[in-house]
């Protein structure tokens, strides 16, 4: 690879990271924007699972415990072997911890990233700062990558921070009933490290393409909701399925998501143009 | 190599540039030849196409037709990043990041425009001091006044020491002192061999700065040339301002055969066919008993010139490109 090519790649990385870092700095300053997202994330990763798991692990009603056991009984065979020997509330809380909250691991970061991403390009136009970027030496691709990073990072951070806290809560509440710390399971690692990243990236590619084209932040939010809703449904199914079934399915789903995400990344980068940063072009 | 026919070292060379947005033609047949070390003033009312010209020069917009080269490179082409790296732009709206501090806005620009890390803090300090914004660098830009925002935008535009500075209404919102600082900056940059293009509809601020004036209207070049050339072309008559101890004696000038116009409102303004008639005018008035206190041939202000151009019935559309804008032909 020639020195010129290497230098170009270094500059692209550098400018994209500069754009992403500046966007993140602005996001950090916008408490009115990130606070609701942080509350939602805390609710879904910490408060609701924590309360539910606590409640379920402390059920003393025999009838209710049997009903909970029945729920677990309806789960796939592979899962039942996992929790063999556990009874009633313990079985239910194990199943809840390992399976029922799994989709949130995708849905919450997807929500955070799409909220940031929907605003990122149209926000430049609305504030007028798009003019500065349009006159800057950064290429459209560098700007696009910077914006993508700036929206991906909050989503991934939310996912991994939430995942870490959630793991602690699950182990503290359910662990003692099932013989010690057991979470994350191997399927969860696949979900978090292999399936989640491309799903969020895929959604963001579509949202950034929308954000570059629409005429207002409100329109971007609405349009991105239309894009993310189906993805959330798919993500929900995928997250559940990849945990209920064998790890190989999780790997296969992740591989497909990576392929789609990389294709979307390539195609969506063309949606951003200097004209659009200036508020022109459809 | 430039193919526009412009001088090879021209900072900006454009010919027949056209750009439209839907049915609206923003720029039509624009020709530009901006040499290094010169100040070009684009004059025109709002909607004349001045902002579009700036955007075409940096490659933020691509032309629909015609050719434009900046530093010998097509700005909307693959080498556009290099053009933009060497340009500093002060847009009509400051285009700042309100949630960031002034310092962070400058640092962002410095990093994007490849200012080396080791000199960036020094450059930020110098630019901020120059535009009297250093005291507010740690504050969020959202709390800045209009004037502070304009000064920060100026500091940001010169941070990377551009070879071409493009200013779109640069003194809008500035207090008189800051406006003077801007005009001083323009002069200084031109002396350093940099090219400056300034868009304005405020004729006063272009006064005394312009090496070249281009008057735009509805995206078309009405006329271009140096102020001297335009004066000769559109201000054919010589005007002389006269004051005397007894002003009524000056009224006799109105009946002199070589006087084309006369007006007295405090001082008297006499319009002559040419400047060679001034001694004859003075002789005639002295002979009539006038004790003259002031005889001042008047150079038109840019404002007077602009309105003369707009009024002129002799205006013909400029050719899209003129090889030497500093030697405009008088039609």
Instruction: Determine the pLDDT at residue A223.
Output: 82
Chain B: residue nearest A32 by CA?
Answer: B99
Instruction: Determine the pLDDT at residue A229.
Output: 78
Instruction: Determine the pLDDT at residue B326.
Output: 36
User: Each residue of A164-201: pLDDT tens digit?
Assistant: 998 998 888 888 877 778 888 887 888 888 888 988 89
Chain B neighbors of A274, CB-CB under 8 A: 59-61
Q: Residue B149 is encoded by which pair of tokens?
A: 């925002």
Least confident of A50-64, A106-120, B311-325: B311-325
Chain A neighbors of B168, CB-CB under 8 A: none
Mutation target to probe the A interface, by most A beta carbons within 10 A, among B60, B79, B83, B146 is: B60
The three-state secondary structure class of B225 is strand
Confidence band, pLDDT 50/70/90 cuts, at residue B1:
very low
Average pLDDT over residues B257-272: 88
Instruction: Determine the pLDDT at residue A177.
Output: 75
Mutation target to probe the B interface, by most B beta carbons within 10 A, among A15, A16, A32, A131 is: A131
Mutation target to probe the B interface, by most B beta carbons within 10 A, among A129, A146, A280 is: A129
Chain B neighbors of A129, CB-CB under 8 A: 95-97
Q: Residue B134 is encoded by which pair of tokens?
A: 């250093």
Average pLDDT over residues B100-116: 96
Question: In the predicted model, what is the mean pLDDT of chain B?
Answer: 85
Chain A neighbors of B95, CB-CB under 8 A: 127-132
- Whether the predicted pLDDT of A205 surpasses 70: yes
User: Each residue of B227-252: pLDDT tens digit?
Assistant: 878 877 777 678 899 999 999 999 99
- Whether the predicted pLDDT of B136 surpasses 90: yes
Chain A: residue nearest B22 by CA?
Answer: A281
Q: Residue A109 is encoded by which pair of tokens?
A: 């970061």
Instruction: Determine the pLDDT at residue A238.
Output: 65
What's phi and psi for A262, nearest 5 deg?
-70, -35
- Percent of chain B exceeding pLDDT 70 equals 90
- Whether the predicted pLDDT of B99 surpasses 90: yes
* CA geometry: angle A198, A200, A205, nearest 5 deg: 90
| A177 interface with B at CB cutoff 8 Å | no
Inter-chain CB proximity B140 and A29 less than 8 Å: yes
Domains and their CATH numbers in chain B: 12-86+162-231 (3.40.50.300), 236-299 (3.30.70.100)
Closest-CA distance, A274 to chain B, in angstroms, reads: 5
Average pLDDT over residues A96-103: 75
- Whether the predicted pLDDT of B166 surpasses 60: yes
Inter-chain CB proximity B60 and A135 less than 8 Å: yes
- Percent of chain A exceeding pLDDT 90 equals 21
Average pLDDT over residues B31-38: 92
Question: What is Dmax (Cα atoms) for chain B?
Answer: 75
Inter-chain CB proximity B112 and A139 less than 8 Å: no
- Whether the predicted pLDDT of A64 surpasses 80: no
Inter-chain CB proximity A128 and B111 less than 8 Å: no
Instruction: Determine the pLDDT at residue A74.
Output: 54
| A282 interface with B at CB cutoff 8 Å | no
Instruction: Determine the pLDDT at residue B322.
Output: 39
Inter-chain CB proximity B89 and A135 less than 8 Å: yes
**Strand (E) or helix (H) holding B89:** strand B87-90
A20-54 per-residue burial string, b: 16 or more CB within 10 A, e: under 16: bbbbbbbbebeeeebeebeeebeebbeeebbebbe
Question: In the predicted model, what is the mean pLDDT of chain A?
Answer: 81
| B135 interface with A at CB cutoff 8 Å | no
**pTM for this model (two decimals):** 0.81
Contact B305, B235 (CB under 8 A): yes
B94-111 per-residue burial string, b: 16 or more CB within 10 A, e: under 16: bbbbbbbbbbbbbbbbbb
Average pLDDT over residues B161-189: 85
Assembly ipTM: 0.83
- Whether the predicted pLDDT of B319 surpasses 50: no
Instruction: Determine the pLDDT at residue B28.
Output: 92
Question: Nearest Cβ partner of B84 from A22, A131, A136?
Answer: A136
Closest-CA distance, B60 to chain A, in angstroms, reads: 5
User: Each residue of B75-85: pLDDT tens digit?
Assistant: 999 999 999 99
Q: Say how many C-beta atoms besides its own lie within 10 A of residue A80's C-beta.
A: 14
| A18 interface with B at CB cutoff 8 Å | yes
- Whether the predicted pLDDT of B331 surpasses 50: no
Question: Using DSSP, how many helices (H) and how many strands (E) does chain A show?
Answer: 14, 0
Instruction: Determine the pLDDT at residue A85.
Output: 52
| B89 interface with A at CB cutoff 8 Å | yes
Closest-CA distance, B102 to chain A, in angstroms, reads: 13
Average pLDDT over residues B256-274: 87
Confidence band, pLDDT 50/70/90 cuts, at residue B330:
very low
Residue whose entry in the numeric block shows the structure tokens 């890390």: B117
- Whether the predicted pLDDT of A240 surpasses 60: yes
Mutation target to probe the A interface, by most A beta carbons within 10 A, among B81, B90, B106 is: B81
- Whether the predicted pLDDT of B86 surpasses 70: yes
Inter-chain CB proximity A134 and B58 less than 8 Å: yes
Pairing label, strands B164-168, B195-200: parallel
| B104 interface with A at CB cutoff 8 Å | yes
Average pLDDT over residues A149-171: 91
User: Each residue of A69-99: pLDDT tens digit?
Assistant: 666 555 555 555 555 555 667 777 777 777 7
Instruction: Determine the pLDDT at residue A270.
Output: 84
Instruction: Determine the pLDDT at residue A70.
Output: 66
- Whether the predicted pLDDT of B215 surpasses 50: yes
Query: In 3D, which of A105, A226, A92, A80 has the Cα closest to residue A158?
Result: A105
Confidence band, pLDDT 50/70/90 cuts, at residue B260:
confident
User: Each residue of B298-308: pLDDT tens digit?
Assistant: 877 777 777 77
Chain B neighbors of A11, CB-CB under 8 A: 114
Instruction: Determine the pLDDT at residue B321.
Output: 39
Closest-CA distance, B95 to chain A, in angstroms, reads: 4
- Whether the predicted pLDDT of B329 surpasses 50: no
Cα separation, A268 vs B171, whole angstroms: 39
Contact A71, A95 (CB under 8 A): yes
Q: Residue B210 is encoded by which pair of tokens?
A: 């312009």
Cα separation, B49 vs B52, whole angstroms: 5
Confidence band, pLDDT 50/70/90 cuts, at residue A65:
low
Query: In 3D, which of B143, B43, B141 has the Cα closest to residue B95?
Result: B141
Confidence band, pLDDT 50/70/90 cuts, at residue A48:
confident
Count the residues in chain B: 331
Residue whose entry in the numeric block shows the structure tokens 């001694």: B279
Least confident of A211-225, A234-248, B23-37, B287-301: A234-248
Inter-chain CB proximity A136 and B111 less than 8 Å: no
């Amino acid at each position: 690879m020639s020195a010129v090519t290497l230098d170009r790649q270094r500059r692209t990385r550098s400018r994209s990271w500069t754009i992403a870092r500046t966007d993140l700095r602005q996001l950090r300053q916008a408490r009115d924007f990130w606070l609701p997202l942080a509350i939602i994330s805390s609710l879904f990763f910490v408060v609701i699972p924590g309360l539910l798991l606590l409640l379920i692990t402390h059920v003393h009603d025999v009838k209710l415990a049997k009903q909970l056991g029945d729920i677990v009984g309806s789960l796939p065979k592979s899962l039942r072997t996992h929790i063999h020997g556990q009874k009633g509330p313990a079985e239910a809380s194990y199943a809840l911890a390992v399976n029922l909250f799994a989709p949130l691991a995708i849905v919450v970061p997807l929500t955070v990233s799409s909220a940031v991403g929907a605003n990122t390009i149209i926000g430049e136009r609305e504030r007028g700062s798009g003019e500065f970027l349009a006159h800057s030496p950064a290429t459209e691709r560098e700007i696009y990558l910077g914006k993508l990073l700036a929206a991906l990072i909050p989503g991934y951070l939310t996912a991994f921070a939430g995942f870490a806290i959630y793991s602690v809560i699950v182990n503290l509440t359910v662990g003692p009933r099932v013989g010690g710390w057991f979470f994350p399971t191997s399927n969860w690692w696949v979900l978090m490290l292999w399936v989640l990243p491309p799903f969020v990236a895929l959604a963001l590619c579509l949202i950034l393409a929308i954000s570059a084209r629409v005429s207002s932040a409100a329109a971007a939010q609405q349009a991105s909701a239309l894009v993310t809703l189906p993805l959330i449904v798919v993500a929900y199914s995928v997250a559940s399925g990849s945990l209920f079934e064998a790890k190989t399915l999780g790997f296969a789903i992740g591989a497909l998501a990576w392929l789609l995400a990389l294709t979307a990344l390539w195609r969506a980068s063309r949606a951003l143009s200097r004209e659009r940063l200036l508020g022109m072009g459809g | 190599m430039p193919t526009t026919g412009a001088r090879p070292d021209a900072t900006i060379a454009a010919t027949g540039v056209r750009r439209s947005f839907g049915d609206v033609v923003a720029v039509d047949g624009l020709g530009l030849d901006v040499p290094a070390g010169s100040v070009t003033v684009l004059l025109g009312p709002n909607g004349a196409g001045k902002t579009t010209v700036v955007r075409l020069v940096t490659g933020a917009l691509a032309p629909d037709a015609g050719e434009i080269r900046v530093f010998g490179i097509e700005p909307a082409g693959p080498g556009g990043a290099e053009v933009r790296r060497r340009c500093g732009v002060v847009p009509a709206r400051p285009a700042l990041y309100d949630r960031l501090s002034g310092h962070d806005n400058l640092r962002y620009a410095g990093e994007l425009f490849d200012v080396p890390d080791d000199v960036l803090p020094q450059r930020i300090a110098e630019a901020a001091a120059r535009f009297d914004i250093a005291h507010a660098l740690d504050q969020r830009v959202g709390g800045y006044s209009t004037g502070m925002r304009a000064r920060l935008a100026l500091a940001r535009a010169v941070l990377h020491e551009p070879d071409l500075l493009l200013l779109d209404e640069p003194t809008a919102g500035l207090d008189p002192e800051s406006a003077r600082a801007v005009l001083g900056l323009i002069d200084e940059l031109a002396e350093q061999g940099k090219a400056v293009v300034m868009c304005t509809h405020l004729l006063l601020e272009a006064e005394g700065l312009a090496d070249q004036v281009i008057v735009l209207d509805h995206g078309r070049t009405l006329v271009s040339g140096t102020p001297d050339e335009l004066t000769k072309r559109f201000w054919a008559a010589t005007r002389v301002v006269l004051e005397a101890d007894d002003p009524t004696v000056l009224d006799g000038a109105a009946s002199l055969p070589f006087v084309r116009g006369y007006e007295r409102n405090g001082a008297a303004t006499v319009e002559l066919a040419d400047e060679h008639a001034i001694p004859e005018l003075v002789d005639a008035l002295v002979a009539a008993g006038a004790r003259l206190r002031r005889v001042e041939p008047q150079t038109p202000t840019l404002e007077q010139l602009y309105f003369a151009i707009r009024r002129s019935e002799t205006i013909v559309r400029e050719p899209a490109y003129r090889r030497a804008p500093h030697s405009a032909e008088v039609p």
